Structure 1
Amino acid sequence: MTVELTISPITVPLSLDAPDAADFVALGDLGRQICDELVGLPDLAETAAQMLVPWNDTEDTVHTGFVARRGDDIVGMVTIDYVQEEGARTAEIDLLVPEASWGQGVEDALLERAEDEARRRGRSILQLWSLHRATETERMLTPKTGWGRVTAIALTDLLEQRGFRLEQVERNSELDLRGDVEPLRRTLEEARAFAGDDYRLVEWNLPTPPALRDGYAGVLARLVTDAPSGDMEFDAEEWDAARVVRRDGRLTSAGQLLSVAAVEHVPSATIVAYNELLIGEDRTGVTHQFGTLVTREHRGHRLGMIVKCANLLRWREQAPLSPRVSTFNAEENRPMLDINEAVGFVPVSYAGAWQKKI
């Protein structure tokens, strides 16, 4: 006899030691399991400890989700995130159904619940990312941008059936952090000489120093508008020093460490480029590049190379036991991919950006 499928909201505890923390702990474990099953990279997923503070802080983004069970067994989860800017239209969905549960109606039921929840909250644009191995198969999918391809998998079949469209492909690359640093030093010095005296390197660890918060807010706001995004329609974000403080608090929770290398345009006293590297409490784990951007007006001065190389060199002192750094970049973002390839990053997996308007 088939046990009935039930779907209920994920309980968000105040701490992972709380009596009601089981769902949230399972969410972290399931995310790592899915990343391992799909691409063999479990560290792409955040742990429950890393997610807990952001989920309890609803001022900038509201995180919600549902858990699917058959009896007492968890067979899948879905999360839906909503940025809180006035007039925001997007909902970001993450569908987490392990291989053992796929094809039994779990994925359909969870995605249907997520779409219904997004409609209830007044959102009209649904966005979801799929993970793919760096392989070629008979069935390859090309986004509307024409840049990159990903393998067709069960999730992409489901998304296409439900009216989602592949808008963009992102490359996930890794760099071995144990290599010789001298090439990085030479490249950094060459880039700084090319940029000239109008550009100054600034570095810090979170929390952001008060004098830098306004400038940091300005460049963080540009990530949504200036980074290549194909036809993905992201909500513009409003940033100020107070939001930087809130973000700093979320990103330094659970013992995390985040290093920033930025470039200030000296004549305008404006931060115009930045790179972030983040690692969890386990300093022997994988490092994640959290954000990188050169604002449009200041491209062509090798600022991307400056912030990337400077932060990687700095990171050797900040987290010397981390073996590698992982980063995602849009396939059409050739300037940033050129930098990555020159530094030594190699592709390890890919992600598909999917969108549906309702």
Structure 2
Amino acid sequence: MNTIVLTITPLIAPRSLDDADAADFLAYGELNRLICDEAVGLPDLAPDAAQMLPAWHDSTDTLQTGFVARSDDRILGMVTVAFAQEAEAHAAEIDLLVPAEHWGHGVEDALLARAEDEARAQGRSVLQIWSLHRPEETERMLVPRTGWGRVPAIPLSDLLEARGFELEQVERNSEFDLRADSEPLRRALAEARSVAGADYRLVEWMLPTPPDLRDGFAAVLARLSTDAPSGEMDFVAEEWDADRLIRREEQLTSAGQAMSVAAVQHVPTGELVAYNELLIGADRGGVTHQFGTLVSREHRGHRLGMIVKCANLLRWRERMPSSPIVSTFNAEENRPMLSINEAIGFLPVSYAGAWQKKI
């Protein structure tokens, strides 16, 4: 096994993908899809370069950095590192992108070491990274510290274990067939609304969020970082207000993406207490991605999760009739949300491992 002579340089985020210096960022988008395809056969799990670029231009909430590994001007791999900008944030989120043909020659080791150096330079004490796994049983299965779920060992997990990372959590990636009969969704929605009663009202919109709902939606978005099951992963409590919501929505929609939100408002208080988001890229015939789904802790047990999921899926079928499937990730220990998914027809297609290392 020969070690390749590498040069590692910063990944440049161009002002536009039409600029002369955009080649590496375009390659980043292609590499992202290749890695998802090689890992689990699902290239559409990855956003493309146009979808990712806006977030690199605005570091107000998250600072994005990255590095490119080359040998003789040929790109062999990349690594990106994201830093949440809350004052109490300790973690650096790493995405290691080395295709199979270049794995095992020192590329992955060099890029992971460069990411750790960047994390230290930014004053971070925790490294986080995610691995993708096929839904299969192999001779060596890995169980996370939560005790929920298991994934097969792969070269990336071997590398992470060797570098001192621990598998903290397993997430299930499920897909819903948007072309299936919609009657089960309608029945489930009607039953859930009957259980919830008059104290809970369904509210729906397409981005951008109406001005009168911004503060309330920002407040419930903030709950995702603290209320969603995350094992021992070191996630900072995110700080949200209407300005951050506007920044996020500008990033999401600037590349031609569209998002639908279904939320539940608690009528006695006027607060938004549950939500579900569905997002699609500029290609309206592509895969739809479910972003956040949450029911505030104080309002669980009223079928609000079922309401927002079913309502948004039904609405999406009318708004985006060409999209074939919805893809979503949920923690294996999040049994209430997985039960909703299973009841309405989501099927598991892959898994993700959440890894962490203290430095």
TM-score, normalised on structure 1? 0.99
Q: Find out whether 1:154 has 2:155 as its counterpart.
A: yes
What residue number does 1:181 align with? Answer: 182
What residue number does 1:285 align with? Answer: 286
Q: How far apart are the structure 2 equivalents of 1:280 and 1:295?
A: 28
Q: How far apart are the structure 2 equivalents of 1:105 and 1:296?
A: 46
Q: How far apart are the structure 2 equivalents of 1:160 and 1:168?
A: 14
1:158 deviates by: 0.5
What residue number does 1:305 align with? Answer: 306
What residue number does 1:26 align with? Answer: 27
Q: Give runs of aligned pairs for residues 12-91 of structure 1, distance below 5 A.
A: 12-91=13-92
Q: Give runs of aligned pairs for residues 183-332 of structure 1, distance below 5 A.
A: 183-332=184-333
What residue number does 1:126 align with? Answer: 127
1:3 deviates by: 5.6
C-alpha deviations, 1:184-230, integer Å up to 9, x for none?
11110110010000000000011110000000000000001000001
1:86 deviates by: 1.1
Q: How far apart are the structure 2 equivalents of 1:11 and 1:250?
A: 18
Q: How far apart are the structure 2 equivalents of 1:154 and 1:263?
A: 43
1:88 deviates by: 1.3
1:288 deviates by: 0.3
Q: How far apart are the structure 2 equivalents of 1:189 and 1:20?
A: 53
TM-score, normalised on structure 2? 0.99
Q: Give the partner amino acid of 1:37.
A: E
Q: Give the partner amino acid of 1:16.
A: L
Unaligned runs of 5+ in 2: none
C-alpha deviations, 1:148-200, integer Å up to 9, x for none?
00000000010011110000000000011001111111110110010000000
Q: How far apart are the structure 2 equivalents of 1:136 and 1:164?
A: 22
Asked if structure 2 preserves the Cα contact closer than 8 Å seen for 1:3 and 1:71, the reply is: no
C-alpha deviations, 1:31-52, integer Å up to 9, x for none?
0000000000000001000001
Unaligned runs of 5+ in 1: none
1:87 deviates by: 2.6
Q: How far apart are the structure 2 equivalents of 1:45 and 1:3?
A: 28
Q: How far apart are the structure 2 equivalents of 1:292 and 1:78?
A: 28
Tell me the SS of whatever aligns to 2:336: helix
Q: How far apart are the structure 1 equivalents of 2:89 and 2:325?
A: 36
Tell me the SS of whatever aligns to 2:260: strand
Q: Find out whether 1:354 has 2:355 as its counterpart.
A: yes
Q: Give the partner amino acid of 1:254.
A: A
Tell me the SS of whatever aligns to 2:27: helix
- Percent identity over the alignment? 74
Q: Give the partner amino acid of 1:25.
A: L
The number of residues matched between the two structures is: 358
1:2 deviates by: 7.0
Tell me the SS of whatever aligns to 2:351: strand
Q: Give the partner amino acid of 1:348.
A: V
Q: How far apart are the structure 1 equivalents of 2:194 and 2:119?
A: 50
Q: How far apart are the structure 2 equivalents of 1:163 and 1:152?
A: 15
Tell me the SS of whatever aligns to 1:317: helix
C-alpha distance 310-71 of structure 1, shift in aligned 2 (>3 A): same
Q: How far apart are the structure 1 equivalents of 2:250 and 2:349?
A: 31
Q: How far apart are the structure 2 equivalents of 1:310 and 1:253?
A: 26
Tell me the SS of whatever aligns to 2:205: strand
Q: How far apart are the structure 2 equivalents of 1:221 and 1:289?
A: 17
Asked if structure 2 preserves the Cα contact closer than 8 Å seen for 1:130 and 1:351, the reply is: yes
Q: How far apart are the structure 2 equivalents of 1:175 and 1:30?
A: 26
Asked if structure 2 preserves the Cα contact closer than 8 Å seen for 1:77 and 1:97, the reply is: yes
Q: How far apart are the structure 2 equivalents of 1:93 and 1:170?
A: 17
Structure 1 segments, 4+ long, off by >4 Å, are none
